[in-house]
């Protein structure tokens, strides 16, 4: 789906805003604090109902107002779609074409989005959980029912850990028998998710390499290693082997929640052996790879939102990014303008407290 018009009411710093978005590449310019990222945040919210800055719903509502409204029309398969969100303290309501949604999962698919922001450096620099979340989010975006696999696994781990703690080291016969059952569930769900993650990485890495090469104008290879927390043929054996240890520690030591994804650039470990600039490029390449995989598999390019990405890249890489944007609708924010030879289809600029259309595509 491509967004056409977006209305904001009492969202962050915007009391009222109406903008028409171009189908192609839109640049949002303006000084720091003008509200560029807020605008991007509202667009991402239309797809995911969650702030990509991990802000609680309360902070999305303009100070002094009691609710925020985000509305947008878009075009999908030549038909108009209306998405409406009402955000208030402790309550978020969403409607698509005036039909209330029962579950947030139902919103997935109406509009799809890829977001890259300054926090995404964590994808490379931080611990394994960020990379696991990245891959799991892609799995769910490609196959929404997989959401149930993830939430089941999460609950199995909580239940198994609770049982391990109650057993406090030893445990009676009934607890041990119950543990057998949780172990079976853990091994089945865990192995399933592990294989899905590994398969996805195989499809993803060629795209990440390609994106990295274009951005950096080099011929490096980006390779990912999925490090399992178990090395037996099936996870069930590893779960059985680690039982004594798990019982002693009161926690589950094998499973997808303990796996890591190590990404290397030309053989160098990206987390410890790459420069800051290389890490930023890699983080961006990983996001773009996910974006392209979604576009390929779903036959439709998600909305691409790039928040303050240019300040993070050297001029050559910034230019390479803007000249190689994937097809589809893209919105990018920048505080310092665009590289000289880039030609956006539309430019929106914050002047004073207004967001003005500086340039519109001639076709509109």
Residues that bind other proteins (CB under 8 A): 144-145, 148, 152, 155-156, 158-160, 162-163, 166, 172, 174-175, 177-178, 180-182, 184-185
Of residues 256 and 328, the one with the C-beta less far from other proteins: 256
CB of 144 to other proteins, least distance (A): 7
Residue nearer to other proteins on the CB measure, 153 or 274: 153
Name which of 257 and 319 has its Cβ closer to other proteins. Answer: 257
Task: Output the smallest distance, CB 164 to other proteins, in A.
Answer: 8
In whole angstroms, what is the distance from residue 71 CA to residue 254 CA? 44
Measured from the CB atom, the residue of 158 and 234 that comes closer to other proteins is 158
Torsion sign over Cα 271, 276, 277, 283: positive
Closest distance between other proteins and the C-beta of residue 145, in Å? 4
By the 8 A CB rule, do 6 and 70 touch?
A: yes
Smallest gap from residue 237 Cβ to other proteins (A): 18
User: 338, 253, 308: which is closest to 119 by C-alpha?
Assistant: 308
14-20 and 2-11 strand pairing: antiparallel
Cβ nearer to other proteins, comparing 172 with 362: 172
Q: Using the structure block, give the residue that is written with the tokens 């171009």.
A: 22
Unique residue bearing structure tokens 């989005």: 113
In angstroms, what is the minimal distance from the CB of 174 to other proteins?
Answer: 5
């Amino acid at each position: 789906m491509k967004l056409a018009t977006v209305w904001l009411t009492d969202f962050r710093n915007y009391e009222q805003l109406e903008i028409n978005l171009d189908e192609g590449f839109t640049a949002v310019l303006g000084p720091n604090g003008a509200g560029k990222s807020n605008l991007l945040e509202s667009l991402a919210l239309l797809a995911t109902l969650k702030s990509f800055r991990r802000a609680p719903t309360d902070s999305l509502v303009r100070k002094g107002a009691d609710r925020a409204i985000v509305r947008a029309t878009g075009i999908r398969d030549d038909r108009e779609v209306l998405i409406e969100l009402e955000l208030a303290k402790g309550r978020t309501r969403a409607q698509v074409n005036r039909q209330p949604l029962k579950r947030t999962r139902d919103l997935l698919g109406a509009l799809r989005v890829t977001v890259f922001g300054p926090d995404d450096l964590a994808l490379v620099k931080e611990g394994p959980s960020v990379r696991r979340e990245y891959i799991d989010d892609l799995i769910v975006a490609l196959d929404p029912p997989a959401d149930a696999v993830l939430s089941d696994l999460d609950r199995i781990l909580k239940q198994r850990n609770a049982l391990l703690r109650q057993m406090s080291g030893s445990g009676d016969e009934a607890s041990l028998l119950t543990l057998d059952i949780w172990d079976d569930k853990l091994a089945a769900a865990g192995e399933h998710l592990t294989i899905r993650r590994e398969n996805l990485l195989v499809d993803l890495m060629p795209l990440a390499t390609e994106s990295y090469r274009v951005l950096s104008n080099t011929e490096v290879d980006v390779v990912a290693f999925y490090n399992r927390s178990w090395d037996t043929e099936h996870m069930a054996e590893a779960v059985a082997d680690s039982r004594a240890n798990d019982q002693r520690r009161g926690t589950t030591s094998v499973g997808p929640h303990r796996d890591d994804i190590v990404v290397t650039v030309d053989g160098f470990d990206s987390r410890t052996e790459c420069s800051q600039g290389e890490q930023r490029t890699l983080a961006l390449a990983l996001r773009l790879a996910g974006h392209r995989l979604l576009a390929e598999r779903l036959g439709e390019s998600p909305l691409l939102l790039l928040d303050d990405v240019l300040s993070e890249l050297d001029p050559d890489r910034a230019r390479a990014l803007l000249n190689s944007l994937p097809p589809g609708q893209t919105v990018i924010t920048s505080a310092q303008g665009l590289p000289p030879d880039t030609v956006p289809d539309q430019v929106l600029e914050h002047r004073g407290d207004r967001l003005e259309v500086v340039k519109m595509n001639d076709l509109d």
